[in-house]
Chains A and B, each alone.
Chain A
Amino acid sequence: MTDKTKTLRVDYLARVEGEGALYIRYDDTAVHEVKLKIFEPPRFFEAFLQGRDYTEAPDITARICGICPVAYQMSAVHAMEQALGIAVDPAIEQLRRLLYCGEWIESHVLHMAMLHAPDFLHLDSAVEMASVHPQVVQQALALKKAGNAIVRVLGGREIHPINVRVGGFYKLPSRQELSELRASLDDALEQAVALTRWVATLTIPDFDRQQHPYLFVALHDEHEYPMNSGRLVSSEGLNIEACDFENHFIEQQVAHSNALHCLLDGKRPYFVGPMARFNLNFETLSPTAKQLAAEIQVTPPYVNPFGSILIRALEVVHAVETAMMVLDFFSKQGVSCSKQEASCSKQEASFRHNTQTGSSYQQPTVRAGSGYAITEAPRGILYHGYRIGDDGKIVTAKIIPPTSQNQKTIEDDLRLMLPALMQLSEDELRHRCEQAIRNYDPCISCATHFLKLTLEKGAEQQ
């Protein structure tokens, strides 16, 4: 170690969900060490789920994350339904998709407008941004509110919804509630399009990992942009069911983090989240999102992580448009169902049936079994695997959130990005590193079930 060795540290990363830090050790010739530290204290969910009833999994696992509770509830119910061998009604699937759209809108807009956009403008917060770009912030808040309204109607409340159960919902929304919700989305699509055009005006830093291309991993479904459905695919030809996840993806514990790292085949870092979904599923984006992608010149393969904010914006457009479509099915307003007519009317019929009989869920027969599910949380794939006993109690639980899967890729980004940035001042360098971490919208509360940046210049290592 020479005196020229420098250390870059950020002790407590701001504008991320949860507690994390960054430590980088480098000199003029090379980057020696990059550690993304997660010091968010562990909460041991997988341990205390043991012995709990299968019905509790959606309510308990929601508490892993206040930002994306719906994702936890969706992965939990799908895994439990597989364990119990039940198939839910198509109308329930559509209502779950609608609920997930609400969370994608709320979570993406929160990250884009309130946590990430200030980086591009060299501002500290959305509150500061509100004085420079009042219209953008107000529009974003309105859009976020629209996403939250969906979660509230379907889930009962925005954070830790109470209406999701294994087999369906506790209560189905009334036709009137759905009509009102549909009407409340009238402005949302326009706001989402405007927000996308605004983020497209931001200066996106260049970064290209040509020599080290990303391995993208996301769900893929031929018929729809993936949320609750599809097989797990990668940009290098992986194509598996959720039940095979643990055969391919291995969690490893590292000393510097309370979050486990997850690697493909135990050695390959990979990329989950909006950019992975977008590159592997462009075809099934909603029509307006696709048009807008062409307009702002963001088309697959898109590989600059600093542009993830653009893809989040496109996914918001997609989620709003999808929510409108699902609501149109059910509230019979405006747009007709065109080519999906046949399946629509089947869903409509079964929805009517359910509303009339009051049966909002499929009652399982309790039995021993195993269930595995992956759904697309706003930040990427979320895996749940459970084994339950013949009394319906959880024997083992395994939960792998998106941020722990992205941890190694974030560290690699920083390692590969730094050599080109050595001419920057220490402050600028620290800022760029933080921005690079926020590209992933890391959710540290999730990952421990993560961030602190360390930068030291011209001094000996601590």
Chain B
Amino acid sequence: MKKTLVVFMAMALMMSVAVISQTATTAIEFWTAPNPFQEAFWSEVVKEWNNTHHDQQIKWQVIPAGNSSEEVILTALATGTGPDLSTNIFTGFAAQLIENDFLVPFNRFDGFDELLKARSMENIVKNGWGFNGNYYVLPLYTNPMAYWWNKDVLDELGIDVPKTYSDVLNLGAKYNNPTKQKYTILTRHEPNWWDRWFDFCMSYQANSGGKPYWDDKKVLFNDAHGLKYMEFINQLFRKKYSPTENFQDALQKGIVLGSIEGPWGINYTKETYPEFNYVIAPPLVPDDYPADQPIHTFADTKGMVMLTKNKQKQEVAWNFIKWYYSDIKHDVKWLEKTNMLPSREDVLARKEFAEYLSANPQLAEYAKLLPYSVPPALNSKTIELQTKMNEVLWEPVIYGKKAPVKALNDAEKELNKIIKQ
């Protein structure tokens, strides 16, 4: 009797172990951008996934606070506390992570090509997101950058929305008055490396018809396009048409007439400054820019990467990615929650997005720029290059320490040194 009981108990134990192991939960750490609108979006999406996939759970959190997401992620990876899956990764940072063997290529998973087609992002991914023949990042959203102009003041002055450098200088001559805190245009002057995307890189891409400002071999921006832009910047600061003080919401408060903005500012402006009336326009170009040519702009575009080397976790991460990217309703929800354009080739064509875009004319203006939006030039040393660019090119010109020609020559020399290291 005793023996039978022991055998029965052992069998029961073995069966329960087998059942537990079959239904064992695999959990992955998932980090997303520290942005309240994205936070609201991912909170709902992850909840939906977790409710329907009990054995494949996602522990979601926003990227912890820090100077930049890149620094925080690197610090976490260095201390072994990094995520298994993360969003908010731009191409240059991905290249840095790839070189250090942190990322897992998605094209090695079953159903990769089908997924690209299903989300209508095959051309986007294959033209600009590849690295050494592999694809480590799946783009999530594309934010074309554009100028916002204060419509009410421009109407009062009887001036059209500025399109060229001369238009801005003429506007400044009529309007600018620093003693009354009235400036013409806001040009970024903070030393953060990413700010150079929005002030220098965007305008270089606009002037040059979408040319990259560097590649993985050398600097390309020291040419006529770069010079024209830096001479314009020099004039803006010498004439004090652009402030060097920090202002919070300078455009919305009427301190400046124009400013470079991303679509993420639309919801904030609507909520905080509902009376503010503005026009969205492409980047400024030199006077001799061909009128029949489209104007390119910089695309602040980020994607999702997989960092876990654990096969079980990779499977969960890939299942989540397939689930997320293959369903258009996630992109529609993304658009509605964040007001940022999903990285899809069919945003303007699909009826699912049409309704939202027609109800949000400001975002529709950004959507029109999508075909001419150029992602950051691919270089694994982007952070170092843009830090140095600030030091030898941008600040010396805006503070009047160097002539644009010298600053560009110095920048080319110094940045090429970094690229060749």
Chain A complexes with chain B: no
Residues of B within 8 A of A (CB): none
* A interface residues, Cβ below 8 angstroms from B: none
